[in-house]
């Protein structure tokens, strides 16, 4: 499945607030570790190598 | 001693000694409104139009200088239309739809509010707050000429209040000395610093944001800047951690710089220092004149309850939000809209006092929604931690190339009216194919009907909106006259009425509250069901 880059999040503001709240009170290292775990969990959810490769490319392009 | 706390843009109600001041005993008034800002004035207008005597006490003699609010939402204009002051606001205001978001020196994206067509009013107008207040005041004068019992007393400062079971005693100071008044009902509209809130010893809890913002309203000599909202995150010109540029009437632009918490206010407010920031942003060759400047900080907070027996709080006195999202005056206007008819019914003996507790339920729900939205915008604009800033910057970075990130960019979620989904006043929602946007609790959407607009026809009282079905012209329910607005497909030239009120149904009957929120809806008219819904909406069931 090709990478979705159009809006696909249900209720973006709620999601963003949850994301920031998950980091509340964490040190920088703890936050980094949380982000790493989160990326792995989401990657597993996506599953497809081709999609993940596209995501990596998109993130690297900045 | 009587000292002004601010200078005036419009002197409108100079101090005049009132007869009440010479009476040996305190004179009783049905409603006393403390504070003549936009919310106090609008409350007086709402009540006066219903024939309920409203006395406004303000410690100044008119409208304060300096703009503060500039952005007024469609819902506010719709309420103002009901009050007879919407047209001059729309006339004077600047309509805008396009916004651009920048980071550093690049444009992240551009948006268009794309307002739905078929509404009398635009999504937003920009208008300096003093004009907004002046138009409300003008409508009060018009109503007074028609006999509306509204009175405004300038330089009448409330210094003490004593809340009794069935009335309130107010001590008022004036240039001629102090006097006392009694009020069956008191409405506190005395602003974010509400002295009456303090007099009652009531709290005002919430979050303080450690940042200051410098506002400069400037008049441009050449007007090449477009009528758009421009917002910079970390602008290259470094005049603020974020900056907002937005047009107002009279060729005036609002510039709002985020300048940090530890600032020397006096120093920052010197004209040469403000000009330094402005010149860095605009370039040296742009000619402008300073109209107004100020530094503000803010908090997001509300009172626990807005009703305290015979005292009701409204506007900034009851709740305060950050300016991002323009939810201050706009939400205060919804307070007025909500309180006006309820207090009117209670005072005229047509509804129990407990109806006023639903002002608490509904407007606290509204305040929480506003506080949540404005807090989130603030957290995005001024991230509180390194990781929060990383995410913010990642969103801005991705938003330039990938549309998915754009809905996450939050430079203010502009004020929309709230839907009272769980209000105790809500009746039946028996229109299975009806649109979600007109579900019970929602504010009525406007639509073109015949040669006019729907909201004008709904008016200021309970109304039955019947589409493609027969209903009686009016029904009397416990002394409340419920009038019908009967429409059918031939009135619906654009199809907007069907889209907004029928959905997949072929006919519908709506019960609309005086504040133009839907309170019940059915496929078919049934008088018993209507009676029960009206009674429920008046707090009787
Ligand atoms: C920088 C800035 C930008 C803003 N932008 C927007 C915007 O774009 N859109 C929006 O909707 N809102 C905006 N707001 C918020 C808006 O200005 C307020 O929500 C609005 O003014 C609240 O009105 P009010 O009538 O409740 O209170 P106020 O306007 O504060 O009026 C209170 C009145 O009570 C009087 N008073 C006080 N104490 C006493 C006393 N003891 N006795 C008698 N009278 C008394 C005062 O003199 C004053 O006249 C902004 C605010 C700021 C600071």
Q: Compute CA B157 distance to the chain's CA centroid, rounded to the nearest angstrom.
A: 24
pLDDT digits (tens, 9 = 90+) for B352-369: 999 999 999 999 999 999
pLDDT digits (tens, 9 = 90+) for B440-470: 999 999 999 999 999 999 999 999 999 999 9
Could you give the CA distance from residue B212 to residue B240 in angstroms, rounded to a whole number? 10
Determine the Cα angle at B231 with ends B229 and B232, to 5°.
Answer: 155
Interface test with B, best of A12, A15, A32 (most B CBs within 10 A): A12
CA dihedral B14, B20, B21, B26 (to 10 degrees): -140
Residue A18 belongs to some domain of the structure: no
Nearest to B85 by CA among B20, B132, B25, B145: B132
Q: Would you call B266 helix, strand, or coil by DSSP?
A: helix
Could you give the CA distance from residue B212 to residue B260 in angstroms, rounded to a whole number? 5
Between B391, B397, B407, which is nearest A20 by CB?
B391
Q: Do B404 and A58 touch (CB under 8 A)?
A: no
Nearest to B77 by CA among B35, B107, B42, B33: B42
In CATH, B429-537 is 3.40.30.120:
yes
Q: Do A13 and B402 touch (CB under 8 A)?
A: no
Contacts of B404 in chain A (CB under 8 A): 4-9
State the pLDDT at residue B223: 64
State the pLDDT at residue B286: 87
User: Per-residue pLDDT for A62 more than 80?
Assistant: no
State the pLDDT at residue A52: 98
pLDDT digits (tens, 9 = 90+) for B181-212: 999 999 999 999 999 999 999 999 998 888 99
pLDDT digits (tens, 9 = 90+) for B137-192: 999 999 999 999 999 999 999 999 999 999 999 999 999 999 999 999 999 999 99
Structurally, how many domains does chain A consist of? Answer: 1
Q: Do A13 and B373 touch (CB under 8 A)?
A: yes
The nearest CA of chain B is from the CA of A19 a distance in Å of 9
Residue ranges of domains in chain B: 8-94+125-204+303-355, 429-537
Determine which residue's CA is closest to atom 15 belonging to ligand 1. Answer: B328
Answer whether B245's CB lies under 8 Å from B239's CB.
Answer: no
User: Per-residue pLDDT for B483 more than 80?
Assistant: yes
User: Per-residue pLDDT for B224 more than 80?
Assistant: no
Contacts of B104 in chain A (CB under 8 A): none
Task: Name the CATH superfamily housing domain B8-94+125-204+303-355.
Answer: FAD/NAD(P)-binding domain (3.50.50.60)
The nearest CA of chain B is from the CA of A56 a distance in Å of 13
The pTM score is 0.95
Answer whether B484's CB lies under 8 Å from B471's CB.
Answer: yes
Say how many Å lie between the first and final Cα of chain B, rounded: 51
State the pLDDT at residue B222: 74
Could you tell me the two tokens for A12? 């973006």
Determine whether the shortest distance from the Cβ of B68 to ligand 1 is under 6 A.
yes
**By CA distance, what is A29's nearest residue in B?**
B387
State the pLDDT at residue B54: 98
User: What spacing in Å lies between the alpha carbon of B176 and ligand 1's midpoint?
Assistant: 27
Asked if A1 reaches chain B (Cβ–Cβ under 8 Å), the answer is no
Mean pLDDT of B508-537: 98
For residue B1, what pLDDT band results from cuts at 50, 70 and 90? Answer: low
Range of the domain at A51: 28-62
Place of tokens 């409405």: B187
Residue A42 belongs to some domain of the structure: yes
| φ/ψ of residue B178, rounded to 5 | -90, 155
The nearest CA of chain A is from the CA of B399 a distance in Å of 10
The nearest CA of chain A is from the CA of B98 a distance in Å of 20
Q: Which atom of ligand 1 is nearest to the CA of B315?
A: 26
Residue A13 belongs to some domain of the structure: no
Q: What is the ipTM of this complex?
A: 0.97
Residue A5 belongs to some domain of the structure: no
Could you tell me the two tokens for B486? 């009967």
Could you tell me the two tokens for B445? 């959407």
Close Cβ partners of B335 (under 8 Å, ≥ 6 residues apart): B39, B306, B314, B315, B318, B359, B363, B366
pLDDT digits (tens, 9 = 90+) for B272-309: 999 999 999 988 888 999 999 999 988 999 999 999 99
Residue A48 belongs to some domain of the structure: yes
Contacts of A16 in chain B (CB under 8 A): 376, 380, 391, 395, 408, 410
Residue of B4, B56, B129, B337 to test ligand 1 pocket, by largest number of atoms within 8 Å of CB: B129
Could you give the CA distance from residue B138 to residue B143 in angstroms, rounded to a whole number? 9
Handedness of CA B56, B59, B65, B70 (dihedral sign): negative
User: Per-residue pLDDT for B108 more than 90?
Assistant: yes
Q: Do B401 and A61 touch (CB under 8 A)?
A: yes
| φ/ψ of residue B520, rounded to 5 | -165, 155
């Amino acid at each position: 499945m090709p990478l979705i880059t159009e809006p696909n999040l249900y209720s973006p503001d709620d999601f963003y607030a949850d994301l920031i709240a998950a980091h509340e009170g964490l040190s920088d290292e703890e936050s980094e570790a949380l982000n790493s775990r989160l990326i792995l969990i989401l990657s597993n959810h996506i599953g497809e190598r081709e999609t993940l490769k596209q995501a990596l490319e998109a993130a690297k392009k900045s | 001693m009587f000292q002004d706390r601010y200078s005036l843009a419009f002197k409108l109600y100079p101090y005049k000694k009132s007869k009440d001041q010479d009476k040996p005993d305190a004179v009783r008034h049905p409603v006393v409104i403390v504070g003549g800002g936009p919310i106090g004035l609008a409350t007086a207008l709402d009540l006066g139009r219903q024939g309920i005597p409203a006395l406004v006490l303000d410690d100044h003699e008119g409208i304060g200088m300096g703009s503060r609010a500039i952005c007024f939402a469609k819902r506010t204009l719709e309420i103002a239309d009901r009050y007879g002051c919407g047209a001059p606001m729309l006339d004077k205001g600047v309509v805008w739809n396009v916004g651009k978001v920048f980071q550093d020196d690049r444009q992240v994206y551009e948006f268009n509010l794309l307002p739905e067509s078929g509404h009398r009013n635009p999504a937003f107008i920009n208008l300096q707050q003093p004009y907004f207040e002046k138009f409300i005041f003008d409508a009060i004068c018009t109503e007074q000429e028609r006999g509306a019992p509204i009175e405004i007393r300038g330089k009448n400062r409330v210094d003490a209040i004593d809340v009794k079971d069935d009335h309130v005693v107010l001590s008022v100071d004036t240039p001629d000395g102090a006097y006392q008044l009694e009020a069956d009902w008191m409405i506190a509209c005395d602003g974010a610093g509400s002295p009456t809130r303090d007099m009652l010893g009531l709290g005002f809890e919430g979050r303080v944001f450690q940042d200051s913002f410098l506002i400069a309203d400037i008049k441009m000599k050449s007007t090449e800047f477009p009528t758009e909202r421009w917002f910079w995150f970390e602008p290259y010109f470094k005049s603020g951690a974020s900056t907002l540029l937005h047009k107002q009437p009279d060729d005036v632009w609002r510039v709002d710089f985020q300048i940090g918490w530890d600032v020397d206010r006096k120093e920052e407010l010197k004209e040469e220092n403000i000009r330094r920031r402005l010149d860095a942003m605009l370039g040296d060759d742009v000619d402008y004149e300073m109209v107004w400047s100020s530094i503000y900080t803010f908090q997001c907070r509300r009172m626990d309850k807005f009703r305290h027996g015979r005292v009701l709080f409204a506007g900034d006195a009851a709740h305060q939000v950050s300016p991002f999202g323009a939810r201050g005056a706009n939400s205060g206007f919804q307070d007025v809209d909500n309180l006006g008819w309820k207090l009117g019914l209670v005072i005229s003996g047509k509804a129990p006092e407990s109806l006023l507790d639903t002002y608490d339920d509904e407007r606290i729900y509204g305040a929480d929604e506003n506080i949540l939205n404005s807090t989130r915008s603030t957290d995005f604009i001024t991230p509180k931690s390194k990781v929060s800033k990383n995410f913010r910057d990642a969103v801005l970075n991705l938003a330039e190339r990938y549309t998915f990130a754009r809905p996450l960019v939050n430079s203010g979620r502009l004020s929309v009216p709230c839907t009272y989904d769980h209000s105790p006043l809500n009746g039946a929602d028996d229109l299975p194919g009806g649109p979600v946007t007109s579900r019970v609790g929602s504010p009525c959407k406007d639509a073109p009907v015949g040669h006019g607009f729907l909201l004008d026809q709904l008016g200021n009282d309970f109304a039955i909106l019947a589409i493609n079905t027969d209903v009686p012209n009016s029904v009397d329910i416990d002394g409340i006259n419920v009038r019908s607005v009967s429409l059918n497909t031939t009135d619906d030239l654009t199809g907007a009425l069907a889209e907004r009120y029928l959905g997949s149904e072929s006919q519908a009957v709506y019960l609309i509250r005086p504040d133009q929120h839907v309170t019940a809806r059915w496929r078919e008219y049934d008088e018993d069901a209507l009676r029960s819904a009206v009674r429920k909406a008046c707090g009787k069931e």
